[in-house]
Amino acid sequence: MVGAFEQALLALMIFVIMLGMGASLTPRDFWLALKRPYGLLIGVVSQYGIMPFLGFLLITILPLPQAIAVGVLIMACMPGGTTSNIFTYFSKGNLALSVLMTVTSTVTGVILIPIILVIYATALELEIPRENIIITLVLLLVPVAIGMVLRKLNANVGAVTEFMGSALALFFIAFIAISWVPRNWQFLMTTTPATYVAAIGLGLFGIMIGYGFARVLKLHPRNARTVALETGIQNGPLAIAIIAFTFAGDEAQSYMAVPALYSLFIVIVSTLVTLVFRRANTAAEQKLPEGML
């Protein structure tokens, strides 16, 4: 369970994370994105085509309780998180494309997330209160807008805010490990192995499929690494926030299990993938052609 204090702390952290995301943006970023719609399309297909379908497959194949299945579906329908930008940087990927995909999936998510949730929840016969989710998503756009204004008014303040948002996204993982895991240890010890397979597989398979998708599109290796990480690394804090603010009672604990475990394991998975990507990186790959995504 998430108590009242933790809900308030969670809301504050999500606000700062989204504020940092907004502070990383300028109107010019949106203009450049519109000039390169190919990148926008890849971002939307990766986040709201590949990942929800992967979540659907995991729910269909694995023997998951209904509450766990709801958590898997919500996690699979989330936009990219700022954590993906960090791992893209260390993987020597295309950071500009990473930010573009994260922003695109976050902004379009206000419309696409409820639609996709309804489609898959209906197919899986799961109950999800989409109205509450829509309200939460709309409210999360407010700090993004504030962050953009701060960046516009003062570049230095914007840079500090951006750093705080990115750092807090990683701190959030530690918050889960220190706060949520110990109090739910009995639940984590007795839950089925399928829950862990879903939590780990969602990120791992997402990265693998995203990389294959990028290679099919014959993208530059730097961009392929970027698309892979952006596809598999979802916004775990946002999923947990939506569940905490949407569901009440003991059911929220089960719903939150996969997003919490996903947030913990995606850091490990992404670190290992980053090491692989860095070993595969060559000097020739770093020469990104002019005008390429």
Number of independent structural domains in the chain: 1
pLDDT for the residue numbered 290: 45
> Is 48 among the domain residues?
yes
Q: What is the DSSP annotation of 151-186?
A: HHH-HHHHHHHHHHHHHHHHHHHHHIIIIIHHHTHH
Q: Which domain holds residue 33?
A: 4-276
> Is 283 among the domain residues?
no
101-61-216 Cα angle (round to 5): 40
Measuring CA to CA, how many Å separate 40 from each of 9, 195, 235? 33, 32, 18
Parts of the chain with a pLDDT under 50: 1, 284, 290-292
Q: Which two tokens stand for residue 111?
A: 């419309």
pLDDT for the residue numbered 262: 92
We report the CATH number of the domain holding residue 143 as 1.20.1530.20
- CA atoms of 222 and 22, how far apart (whole Å): 25
> Is 37 among the domain residues?
yes
How many distinct helices (H) and strands (E) make up the chain? Answer: 15, 0
> Is 292 among the domain residues?
no
> Is 130 among the domain residues?
yes
> Is 90 among the domain residues?
yes
**Chain center to CA of 172:** 13
> Is 291 among the domain residues?
no
> Is 187 among the domain residues?
yes
Alpha-carbon dihedral sign for residues 117, 77, 197, 56:
positive
255's torsion region: left (phi>0), alpha (psi -120 to 50) or beta?
A: alpha
pLDDT for the residue numbered 286: 55
115: Cβ–Cβ under 8 A, 6 or more apart, which residues? none
pLDDT for the residue numbered 75: 94
What are 160-210's pLDDT values in tens digits?
777 777 677 667 767 776 776 777 777 778 888 999 999 999 999 999 999
